[in-house]
Structure 1
Amino acid sequence: MYNKFAKIVIIAILIFIIPNSVSAFDKSNLLNNLIKYSYPEIKVLEKDKTQRESNTKETQHYNQKNSQYINVYVGEENIPTINTEVNSDINLKSDVYSQNLRITNDKPEILIYHSHSCETYLDSPEGNYHSEDKEHSVMSVGCLLTNELSSLGWGVAHSTTYHDSPTYNNSYARSSQTIKSAMNKYNSIKITIDLHRDGLNIANEAVKTNIHNKYTTTINGQKVAKFFFVVGARNDDVAEVKKLADGITEYANKKYPDLIMPVVVKPYGRFNQSICDNALLVEVGSNGTTSDEAQASAKYLAEILDGYFKEKHI
């Protein structure tokens, strides 16, 4: 740990002391070599000749267990611009979220939480779309979904506890404690929603465009992110979990046919879906959609959930 920290400090110092007389191309080559020498487990990818000539180099570290990777951008010209605009309806401050929890009713019926709280959208690329930028993350969508469901008469508890920071490993084990704690405190909770966004490898601009087109649609003239439900096949009650996801998907298709994508069943997962009788894992958009597009989906997702649960008397 200390050796890696020392390497990072050395690299940071060298970045500032490299003479201005050294060309930008030579600086980038030097920095890439420093990264590869210091971290042999990191692979530097040069995607094409044009990219090499323009000195646009990206380093990826791929963690096979969690399918995560980290981008290291060399040169200021290669760092994506972060959108700093925030929807005025999003308030994730500590005075609203006491101990990372906001309650809209003394007897909340729905718990919204995020096993992967650091998942951010296209306009917040820091940390390869994983950071504590709450306002451009799945937390912001959770906040708006809380607002929308509350306006429809539901009592909602929304948790902004980080379950994947500082480490991604065991995120679901940590989020299970959040669920159990909330349900122990509020026995009125009968629905749990683990809100994520899908994650894909955005290798280049063409891939980014394809992902964006796949995960967005237009409703009432507004571009919104599509969403879908995920079912963990390792749940003892997987049939009931899938029945719920299929039921909501069918209901959504009748109202907004192009808004919802098919249910995904993951054979290796549990996703804490046995803790509550009505457990949902929903992916709203992806890292190829913007936070505005994902946030715009919240009112439609709320409308669909409200209509389905009331129709089924849940």
Structure 2
Amino acid sequence: MLKKSKKVICIVCVLICILPVVSYSIDKEEFLKFLIDSSYPESSEESEDLKNEDVQESEKTANKDDYIKFHIGEENIPTLNSNNENKEDVSVASSEYKNNIRLTKDKPTMLIYHTHAGETYSDSPEGNYHSQNNKDKSVIEIGTLLTEQLSKKGWGIAHSIKYHDYPKFTESYISSLETVKSMLNNYKSINIALDLHRDGRDLKTNADIQKENERMTTTYNGEKVAKFFFVVGMKNPNVDEVKKLAEDITKFAQSKYPELVLPIVEKPLGKYNQYMAKNHMLIEVGSNGTSSEEAKASAKYIAEILDEYFKQYK
């Protein structure tokens, strides 16, 4: 610390001598602040750690058991971490996806991605409802349908189908953070980001599955559809904005389809990358107690809700 203080004093002395002869086009105060910050990185208003911080600190530092306990839940851990190449295509023509990305416009305004792309529904129980072999029964399929529905309404969508939860499930958010950073850097038109999941419950018996199905489904127009809800990471530096957005969309959804949306869930220790985009949401569509068909049936309603909300209020 003493050495740093001496260094700064020396710098200030040099500045006193140099600055008077430097062009007045240079902001001396800002230049001095830059030099002090260079000597004392911890004095920066926004440290590099915060800029590059992952969704939650515990993902980097806590052990696996703590991470699971606070952020995932024992019931949602894969029992099969297969790295086999996926042979199935998503329902939208595979030619539309390049390097796991589909763009519906050159300048997309919304990013849809999946931190846990391997999450599957009740009709795909492999690996404790986690698989790379059943895209059509996973959250990826819901993302493709949501991309289709929103693009038809005029939105420019960037949809990532990259698996962030393989090979290391407990580093899923570290991996998806890199995807979000890359997409926001490459497509500066994006100001809405949606991390699409499905809820996970501990389902041991058929009775458990039935009960969970009743909790997470409703019927509209004679069709059984999966309910959805938003999750808010309460450790985000922008938590007030993240929470307000989730609350506002939930309220708007309830005004249109009261039985379709559940109250938001707050995670005290989470960030979930929600500090990255101006409007960042984590949405859970259905659960491992609902079928992929029930989750797919929700896509058109969710697309309608997001379309109308952002066009009216943002």
* Interval containing the TM-score (normalised by the shorter chain): 0.7 to 0.9
Give distance in 2, aligned partners of 1:173 and 1:192: 16
Q: Deviation digits for residues 59-100 of structure 1, max 9, x if unmatched?
A: xxx95632344569xxxxxxxxxxxxx9x992263x221000
Task: Indicate how the Cα distance of structure 1 residues 64 and 275 shifts in structure 2: closer, same or farther if over 3 A, else same.
Answer: closer
The answer to whether the 8 A contact 1:92-1:135 is kept is: no
**Residues 92, 143 of structure 1: 8 Å contact kept:** no
* Bigger helix share: 2
Which residue in the other structure is 2:46 paired with?
Answer: none
Specify the alignment match of 1:147 in structure 2. Answer: 148
Is the alpha carbon distance of 1:305 and 1:283 closer, same or farther for their aligned partners in structure 2, counting shifts above 3 Å?
same
Instruction: Name structure 1 gaps, 5 residues minimum.
Output: 1-61, 73-85
- Decide whether aligned partners of structure 1 residues 63 and 70 sit closer, same or farther in structure 2, where only a CA change above 3 A counts: farther
Alpha-carbon displacement from aligned partner over 1:171-197 (angstroms, at most 9, x marks no partner): 111101101101111110010000000
**Structure 2 match to 1:65:** 67
Q: Deviations over 1:78-133 (max 9, x none)?
A: xxxxxxxx9x992263x221000000001100000000110000001110100112
After TM superposition, the structure 1 = structure 2 runs for residues 1-314 of structure 1, keeping only pairs within 5 Å, are: 65-66=67-68, 67-68=73-74, 69=77, 90-91=91-92, 93=94, 95-132=95-132, 133-312=134-313, 314=314
Scaled by the length of structure 2, the TM-score of the pair is 0.73
Deviation track 1:197-221 (CA, whole Å, cap 9, x = no partner) reads 0001111111111100000000000
Kept in 2: contact 1:114–1:175 (CA 8 A): yes
The structure-2 alpha-carbon separation of the partners of 1:302 and 1:131, relative to structure 1 and needing over 3 Å to count, comes to: same
Equivalent pair of 1:117/1:164 in contact (CA under 8 Å): yes
The letter of the residue matching 1:65 is Y
Tell me the residue number matched to 1:43. none
Give distance in 1, aligned partners of 2:276 and 2:67: 25
Q: Which has the larger radius of gyration?
A: 2
CA distance in 2, matches of 1:108, 1:91: 18
Deviation at 1:167, TM superposition (A): 1.5
Preserved CA contact (<8 Å) 1:110 1:191: yes
Assess if the C-alpha contact under 8 Å between 2:107 and 2:156 holds in 1: yes
Q: Which 4+ runs in 1 deviate beyond 3 A?
A: 62-65, 68-72
Pair 1:71–1:162, CA change in 2 (3 A): closer
Instruction: Count the aligned residue pairs.
Output: 237
SS at match of 2:210: helix
Q: Which amino acid aligns with 2:98?
A: S
Measure the CA separation in 1 of the matches of 2:247 and 2:281.
11
Q: What residue is the counterpart of 1:19 in the other structure?
A: none
TM-score for the superposition, normalised by structure 1: 0.73
Secondary structure, aligned partner of 2:255: helix
Separation of aligned partners in 1, 2:126 and 2:97: 24
Quick check: 1:89–1:144 contact (8 Å CA) kept in 2? no
Structure 2 counterpart of 1:121, one-letter code = Y
Q: 5+ unaligned residues in a row in structure 2: which ranges?
A: 1-63, 81-87
C-alpha separation in 2, matches of 1:225 and 1:131: 20
In structure 1, what residue type is equivalent to 2:302?
L
Contact 2:193–2:281 (CA<8 Å) still a contact in 1? Answer: yes
User: What secondary structure, in the 3-state scheme, does the structure 2 residue paired with 1:111 have?
Assistant: strand
Larger strand proportion of the pair: 1
Counterpart Cα distance in 1 of 2:245 and 2:208: 33
Partner letter of residue 111 of structure 2? L
- For 1:65 and 1:273, the matched residues in 2 are separated by 18
CA contact (8 A) 2:78 2:130 kept: no
